[in-house]
Structure 1
Amino acid sequence: MSRGLRLKTLGVVLILACFATALGTTWLWFSSTRAWQAHLTRSYVTGVALYETLRLGTAPPEGIVVTALNAENAGLASQGAFVRLPAIPAPAFVTNVSIKGPGRDPVSGESLTLGIVSNNLQYAVSELVSNEGQPAAQKFGNVTRLLATYCSEPIMFARMGTQPWVRVDGRGVWGCGVAPRDLRLAAVLVALVALAIFATLVRDNSAHFERFARALNNHRRLGGPQSYEAQGPEELRDIVQAVNSYLEHERAQLSKRATVLSGVSHDLGTPATRLRLRTALIKEAELREKLEADIDSMTEMIESVLTYTRAELNEETPRSLSLTSLVEALVADYQDLDRPVSIRAPERVMVEGGRSVFAASQGHATLPEAQRILVTARPVSLKRAISNLIENALKYGRRASVELTATPDHAIIVVEDEGSGMSAEDIEAVVAPFKRGENTQAIDGFGLGLTIVATVAEQHGGSLHFESGRHGLRACLEICRN
């Protein structure tokens, strides 16, 4: 049995781990967002300053290299043939931009023509929003901010008004190499991985309890080990230990009860035999018959109690069997003895077919005969339970009709008599040991038959109940199929 943390300890650990993970992922997200905002702001500010450099011919901002084009390259740039210029990225995607300041400012009203060459995309400059009256320097800053938004290595060619064409290399400001690492995706992945780990831990601990509960539920129905082992938290191990102690005590009590009853049965066997021999010597026939009947009643009572105890001990191993064959064989045995026992075949279901343009009326058909009902059960104890129901129906209701139905999870054996004079409520009250109805005083029995049937039903994960039928009382023995 593996060791494990207590649930309260595991809960505290998970809460702290969740809190730490939330803090870590939040820090990664906001630090990455803040770094990107700083990167974009720097590109914007550099663009504003660069505009003044292009307009006034001053020194370029830090990280920007401005080079004048020679006459040949300037001619190509004027024609818009930027892809034919030397030392440009390949493949070359060209984005053309024209920036003009407000008309009321004759200086800033000069037009700035740009040719931006990138190796992987054209920039969506049409999405840039500029307010009416916004200075041209800010418009140019928005363009450089846009360049920094994408991971690219663009080269810019610019011409301010009628000034010469210049080559602007700003990859040290808005290039992909200087962009901060975007850790937001990493933060999401860390959060998802942590969530998966925490969910797995919770599900694993829950699964330990579910497996043990399932094994314990199947213990009485399908049998089980003498003791259980479980992996998981310490609370579960404490529960398993308590259950093992209880099962051991229960087995000891049942074994002691069976030993005592077996000893009593054995010890009474010899005196009963002597009584039979001595009774046979009695000459008065009436007295002899009464004594023999008392001796038979005493021995039958002992055997009934032993049968009930064996049913409680639950020692038979379950196996897969055909319940249909078992019931049919049992009914056939009664019929061979000329007993009024019959088996009622399930009604075949009639279905209607759809209408057709080729037929004047709907067709009808019956579903095929039901397949054999397979169950996992204890055949000896199950056969004893069904026999008890049939015997009761014969004793108190003159005839027995057996019907077998099934659902995907349960099988139901129904035994109906021809009227015993007891209602379903009355018969439910005599299921307890040694309880008999008022109309059974003249019939032999000890009140253990239905108790044994109810015990067998519980062992098979089902129940015994009664209902009123078309002819008499219906005893319904329901068991689990698997």
Structure 2
Amino acid sequence: MQTLRSLRVGGVGLVLVAFALGLLSASLWLQSNARWSAYLDNAKFAGAVLYDSLQTGGEPPVGVRISPLDAQDQARAQAGIFEQVSGIAPTSLVTNFSIRPDLTRDRISRPLTLAVLSSDLRYPLAAVSSRADQTPAETMGALTMLLATYCSDPILIAKLGQAPWVQIDGDRVWSCAAAPSDLRLLAAGISLVAIGALVTLVLNSSAQFSGFAQMLRHRNRIGGPQFYQTEGLYELREIVSSVNSYLAGERDRLAERAAVLSGVSHDLGTPATRLKLRAALIPDADLRAKLEADIDSMTGIIESVLTYTRAELDAEVPRKLSLKSLLQSIVDDYQDIGRPVEFAGTQKMSVHGAPSLFMSRRGVGSLGDDDKVIVLARPVTLARAVSNLIDNALKYGRRATVSLEKDADHAVIIVQDEGNDMSAAEVENLMAPYRRGSNTQLIDGHGLGLTIASTVANLHGGTLTFEPGAKGLLARITILRR
């Protein structure tokens, strides 16, 4: 399957090959059935003719030879010690069978006593067909057909009425050498090969497309590739090439946007500084304060947009860091300037065990202590996202409490405010760019804080969600631990 390079060409070719193999398998199966049926019919016919020849003393059927036993073997056979007859293996298994005489014939037939000797098995005589109107010849034919069914090379010792015992050799009729080659197993194998080839094609193709879709779904996660490479189908490689071209174009556009915004921010720096210097000369204090606030707002908007674009550009190199230390340093910075922000530390998360057949309740445990909570992250970008959530908590509430939860796969940064009257749904609506709350006249901001935090969470393989807490709203940034 590794040589299949195109689903259109190779797939169609493989389907045609599988169809041809299916036809070959069906042909072999039908031919084998026909030959096997003819072989069993011939054994059945030979048995019926053999019975008549024993009754009448005529010639046996073609391929069957009847030989009388010598005096010693006659005595052994009469005593029922058939495995000691000359030419018979002493370990042979004996199957006794008798056919009653046919009283409906004009000339009364004699009963036939048979001993079937085989080194492999005792024959299941229940498989011999029996009907109310069945003739002894038909019964003998059913027996020889049963002998032909099994590859065991049986030897028959028979006695007709009071006549001497005879040995019947039918190797050319019902032995393994006379049986036709059974190609049904080969036919089944060919069918399995054809089905396996098609199933492998479908599964491999599906796995290749699903694998690429999985990689593309998580392309913004830390450590994700800039370009994608794949081996496999031509169609998939074409899709990957198109996606790479699209992503390269997106990166170029983001880089151009960041360059433009950086240039604008730099170019506005000089006139903004001049405006502040000139505003300082205005004697009216209220007017001077308003002008300086407008200047700060203008530069703040540019910086917010530039920060958002840099987060989208994913330019910061990720590294391993202690998430607890990062959060502690952020909280310390707020506390140094007298802001009501606290760090509640790392909270233990309960882990539920698997259900048990012997207990109605699932066990509950907790993960071991891991104070550092090492993660692979972009420290500056992540710190900016946490700071934005803290700023929102302080804007819409009285204070902010930062805590950390962890499990084996994820770390959750929790920022809880106090006294926020907004619902979780209302706050989630503010994650769109330039969305602000209803009290925009009372608080500062440019409408990009939650947008940046959500983008940063996505870049770290997680999400930003909100939910009601005990005192206010809980903002949860979930990131992957790697």
> What is the TM-score normalised by the length of structure 2?
0.86
Q: Would the aligned equivalents of 2:25 and 2:188 in 1 still touch at CA under 8 Å?
A: yes
After superposition, residues 12-91 of structure 1 pair within 5 angstroms as 12-89=12-89, 91=91
Name 1:390's counterpart in structure 2.
Answer: 390
- CA-CA distance at 1:149 after TM superposition: 1.1
Q: Would the aligned equivalents of 1:254 and 1:313 in 2 still touch at CA under 8 Å?
A: yes
Q: Would the aligned equivalents of 1:101 and 1:136 in 2 still touch at CA under 8 Å?
A: yes
* 1:228 maps onto 2:223 in alignment: no
* 1:145 maps onto 2:157 in alignment: no
Name 1:256's counterpart in structure 2.
Answer: 256
* 1:171 maps onto 2:171 in alignment: yes
After superposition, residues 313-332 of structure 1 pair within 5 angstroms as 313-319=313-319, 321-332=321-332
**Which runs of at least 4 in structure 1 moved beyond 6 Å after TM superposition?**
347-351
Quote the Cα distance in structure 2 between the aligned partners of 1:386 and 1:133: 96
Name 1:197's counterpart in structure 2.
Answer: 197
Quote the Cα distance in structure 2 between the aligned partners of 1:118 and 1:366: 66
Quote the Cα distance in structure 1 between the aligned partners of 2:210 and 2:320: 25
Quote the Cα distance in structure 2 between the aligned partners of 1:402 and 1:410: 17
Name 1:134's counterpart in structure 2.
Answer: 134
Secondary structure at the aligned position of 2:209 is classed as helix
Seen in structure 2, the aligned counterparts of structure 1 residues 191 and 72 have a Cα distance that, compared at 3 Å, is same
Code of the aligned partner of 1:95: T
- CA-CA distance at 1:414 after TM superposition: 2.8
Name 1:477's counterpart in structure 2.
Answer: 477
- CA-CA distance at 1:273 after TM superposition: 4.2
Seen in structure 2, the aligned counterparts of structure 1 residues 416 and 54 have a Cα distance that, compared at 3 Å, is same
> What is the TM-score normalised by the length of structure 1?
0.86
Quote the Cα distance in structure 2 between the aligned partners of 1:453 and 1:85: 97
Seen in structure 2, the aligned counterparts of structure 1 residues 133 and 216 have a Cα distance that, compared at 3 Å, is closer
- CA-CA distance at 1:480 after TM superposition: 4.3
Q: Tell me the alpha carbon deviations over residues 442-465 of structure 1, each in whole angstroms, 9 at most, x when there is no partner.
A: 433322212211211232343334
Q: Tell me the alpha carbon deviations over residues 68-124 of structure 1, each in whole angstroms, 9 at most, x when there is no partner.
A: 222222222222222222222453222222212233447453011222222222222
Secondary structure at the aligned position of 1:446 is classed as coil
Q: Tell me the alpha carbon deviations over residues 302-351 of structure 1, each in whole angstroms, 9 at most, x when there is no partner.
A: 32222122111112344555544543443344345543222346488799
Name 2:102's counterpart in structure 1.
Answer: 102
- Larger mean CA deviation between 391-400 and 220-229 belongs to 220-229
After superposition, residues 327-338 of structure 1 pair within 5 angstroms as 327-338=327-338
Quote the Cα distance in structure 2 between the aligned partners of 1:83 and 1:29: 39
* 1:434 maps onto 2:434 in alignment: yes
Q: Tell me the alpha carbon deviations over residues 279-306 of structure 1, each in whole angstroms, 9 at most, x when there is no partner.
A: 66x3848366555544444433332222
Name 1:239's counterpart in structure 2.
Answer: 239
Q: Would the aligned equivalents of 2:276 and 2:292 in 1 still touch at CA under 8 Å?
A: yes
Secondary structure at the aligned position of 2:220 is classed as helix
Name 1:399's counterpart in structure 2.
Answer: 399
Code of the aligned partner of 1:459: L
Quote the Cα distance in structure 1 between the aligned partners of 2:479 and 2:181: 65
- Larger mean CA deviation between 169-178 and 430-439 belongs to 430-439
Name 1:218's counterpart in structure 2.
Answer: 218
- Percent identity over paired residues: 49
- CA-CA distance at 1:411 after TM superposition: 4.2
Superposed CA RMSD: 3.1
Name 2:206's counterpart in structure 1.
Answer: 206
Q: Would the aligned equivalents of 2:98 and 2:113 in 1 still touch at CA under 8 Å?
A: yes
Secondary structure at the aligned position of 1:145 is classed as helix
Name 1:354's counterpart in structure 2.
Answer: none
Name 2:416's counterpart in structure 1.
Answer: 416
After superposition, residues 2-13 of structure 1 pair within 5 angstroms as 6-13=6-13
Number of residue equivalences? 467
- Larger mean CA deviation between 370-379 and 81-90 belongs to 370-379
Secondary structure at the aligned position of 1:13 is classed as helix
Seen in structure 2, the aligned counterparts of structure 1 residues 330 and 274 have a Cα distance that, compared at 3 Å, is closer
Secondary structure at the aligned position of 1:177 is classed as coil
Quote the Cα distance in structure 2 between the aligned partners of 1:274 and 1:65: 126
Quote the Cα distance in structure 2 between the aligned partners of 1:125 and 1:348: 71
Quote the Cα distance in structure 1 between the aligned partners of 2:108 and 2:39: 27
Q: Tell me the alpha carbon deviations over residues 139-197 of structure 1, each in whole angstroms, 9 at most, x when there is no partner.
A: 11111111111111222122212222222111111111111122222222222232222
Question: Unmatched 5+ residue regions in structure 2?
Answer: 353-362
Q: Would the aligned equivalents of 1:102 and 1:133 in 2 still touch at CA under 8 Å?
A: no
Q: Would the aligned equivalents of 1:348 and 1:366 in 2 still touch at CA under 8 Å?
A: no
- CA-CA distance at 1:390 after TM superposition: 0.6
Seen in structure 2, the aligned counterparts of structure 1 residues 429 and 366 have a Cα distance that, compared at 3 Å, is closer
Seen in structure 2, the aligned counterparts of structure 1 residues 34 and 73 have a Cα distance that, compared at 3 Å, is same
- CA-CA distance at 1:481 after TM superposition: 4.5
Question: Unmatched 5+ residue regions in structure 1?
Answer: 352-364
Seen in structure 2, the aligned counterparts of structure 1 residues 108 and 144 have a Cα distance that, compared at 3 Å, is farther
- Larger mean CA deviation between 233-242 and 155-164 belongs to 233-242
